[in-house]
Amino acid sequence: MLENDEFIKVVKNTPLVALDLVIRAGDNKLLMGMRINEPAVGWWFVPGGRIRKDESIEDAFLRITKTELGKSYPIDHARLLGAFTHQYQTNFARMPGISTHYVVLAYELQVDVDLERLPMGQHSEYRWVGENGDPARVHPNTLVYFKQAERDA
């Protein structure tokens, strides 16, 4: 694991690879958490996380679902929605002038979740959120997952 001063150099100079977990309710609402960390602090966003060096996508999926949903799920229980580019003008360390660039593999996962029992490491609260911004602070990088559902229908 890199120290913050080393990791900020990585963020400054290369894209990061991450997984987003698109948990969809029957009415096309998505599970979202209110982000407490940069980038995207203060926005509603789907759960997810970075893939670590030398970690397979399958192992990352198990770790990220455990961390974000409280239970590990194998990747073969999910459907790949596609690869997406997420760019932010901020970074985890809030250092000026350093943007964050993610290449995100988004996976749709059909699981039952209890909002009251979800881990709070990255989010201050969770909700089922609809495309029309109920609440209004749905991050633009998350809105694309609603559009993806329309294309798949």
Instruction: Write down the residue that tokens 């926005």 correspond to.
Output: 43
Tokens linked to 50: 């970075």
Q: How far is CA 91 from the centre of its chain?
A: 15
Task: Fill in the amino acid letter for 76.
Answer: D
The answer to whether the annotation marks 131 as part of a ligand binding site is: no
What separation in angstroms does the CA of 122 have from each of 9, 43, 148, 150?
A: 22, 11, 24, 28
Determine whether the annotation assigns residue 116 to a binding site.
no
68 annotated to bind ligand: yes
User: DSSP E strands: which ranges in 2-145?
Assistant: 16-22, 30-35, 44-45, 48-50, 78-88, 100-109, 123-129
Which residue is it, tokens 């209110």? 34
- Binding positions: 48, 68, 122
Binding residues for Mg(2+), as ranges, are: 48, 68, 122
